[in-house]
Amino acid sequence: MLSTTAFGLGAKYFAFYEIEGVGVQWNNMAVSPVEDDEYNLQLILLMMVFDALLYGLLTWYIEHVHPGRPPPHLTSTRVDASTELCYCID
């Protein structure tokens, strides 16, 4: 359920289609380019869409549970640290 894994598999299957000289087309997305393989490019694209929806739902939920600024331990200890760096030359 990781989008990077699905993307890697998709690139691999895309390369298999290109090696065969067929290329990816709408009519062969549901057919695996590898013999005796249960995965295909259509399934991988569905996994990526599912991951995107899942990550969107998690983001929406977390933003509603903890809205606003991040906790203090995730921010810098001094608020003016970046302004001191920017205005060091007068």
pTM assigned to the model = 0.66
Q: Is the pLDDT of residue 36 over 80?
A: yes
Q: Is the pLDDT of residue 56 over 70?
A: yes
Q: Which of 15, 19, 44 is nearest to 29 (CA)?
A: 44
Dmax over Cα atoms in the chain, in whole Å? Answer: 70
pLDDT per position as a tens digit, 69-85: 666 666 655 555 555 55
**What pLDDT is stored for residue 39 in this prediction?**
87
**What pLDDT is stored for residue 37 in this prediction?**
87
Helix axes 3-20, 41-65, angle to 10 degrees: 160
Number of compact structural domains in the chain: 1
- Domain span holding position 74: 3-86
Task: Look up residue 27 and give its DSSP letter.
Answer: G
